[in-house]
Amino acid sequence: MSQTKIQQDSIPILKTTKSRKPKIRFYVQTFFFFLVALITLNKALSEVGLSIPYISNGSLHAICPFGGVASLYKFATVGTFVQKIHESSFVLMVIAFLLAILFGPVICSWVCPFGTFQEWLSRIGRKLFGKRFNHLIPAKVDSILRYLRYVVLFLVLYLTFTSTKLIFQDVDPYYALFQFWSDEVAVSAFIILGVTILMSLVIDRPWCKYACPYGAVLGIFNLFRIFKIRRATSSCTDCKLCDRSCPMNITVSSRKAVLNHQCISCLSCTSENSCPMSDTVEFSTKGGK
């Protein structure tokens, strides 16, 4: 049997093996999306004397780790939290930071329900635009917009510190999505939610890329996190499948280790998901070869 024949016969086996891998991240994302939805719904029901068994009736602010970040200054200077923020937000903030030190922004890609919501919308966008999806914005414009979320982070923290109020709620599309029935949601938040929905049909995770202040905070941990996306140059075939699979448009194929502030640790580029060469793109502490 010729070598060509062996290679051809091995291709479907490889595809079958990969297709049988459980979509663990999808299951985790779905779990947290509906968990947050049920918690916020249960909070609304508890206000009229109803409840869902075994589901917490904590508010959306109580289960958001960014609330802890927004309250850091007031807690350090006065010893209290910003209005509507709970102690649980501080606990979640610490957990998120520890995870980020180890694995990077896994909260963004595995837990955050608004990131999951954008990913679900992107499936429609891929059907509408095909290969052009996520590549319609010129690269130079995109590279500048990537740093806009740090401007948003600075403004949110500054205004929150000076006003001691949760300013971000009025522009938060995440809050609008899970509290759309509430009269507490500002019109501006609904507008930004609408824009994010439309942009998600053209761009993968537009809010995460360009505007999310919490994503900006966690993105910094990519510079020194312990587990990184690493590429073994010795076995890389330069097929660039890792680049095409990255929702954040990071050129993984040009790096030995991904230190980009936009990486969300979704693992889409790894050998277990898109790279056809085993042990080539890995999530590990070891350097590439």
Each residue of 199-250: pLDDT tens digit?
Answer: 999 999 999 999 999 999 999 999 999 999 999 999 999 999 999 999 999 9
Residue type (1 letter), 75: F
CA distance 41 to 174: 14
In sequence order, the β-bridge partners of residue 229 are 283
Average pLDDT estimate for 16-40 = 80
- Residue by residue, DSSP assigns 185-223 as S-HHHHHHHHHHHHHTTTSSSHHHHHT-HHHHHHHGGGG
Calpha distance 219→212 (Å, rounded): 10
Contact 40, 51 (CB under 8 A): no
Whole-angstrom Cα distance, residue 51 to residue 34? 16
User: pLDDT category, 47, cuts 50, 70, 90?
Assistant: confident
Q: Please state, in angstroms and rounded to a whole number, the distance separating the CA atoms of residues 107 and 104.
A: 8
3 pLDDT tier (thresholds 50, 70, 90): very low
Q: What are residue 90's phi and psi, to 5 degrees?
A: -65, -40
Cα 70 versus chain centre, distance: 19
Number of H helices, E strands in the chain: 14, 2
Q: With 90 as the cut, is the pLDDT of residue 54 above it?
A: no
Confidence of residue 179 (pLDDT cuts 50, 70, 90): very high
Confidence of residue 19 (pLDDT cuts 50, 70, 90): very low
pLDDT at 13 over 70: no
- Kindly indicate the confidence band of residue 152, based on its pLDDT and cuts at 50, 70 and 90: very high
Cβ atoms of 135 and 251 within 8 Å: the answer is no
pLDDT tens-digit map of 72-125:
655 555 556 565 666 777 888 889 999 999 999 999 999 999 999 999 999 999
Asked whether 166 and 70 are in contact (CB, 8 A), the reply is yes
Higher pLDDT, 88 or 256: 256
* Out of 10-24, 107-121, 182-196, 264-278, least confident range: 10-24
Whole-model pTM: value is 0.85
For CA atoms 52, 56, 58, 63, the dihedral sign is: negative
8-12, 116-120, 153-157 — most confident range: 116-120
Query: What SS3 state is found at 228?
Result: strand
What mean pLDDT is reported for the chain?
85
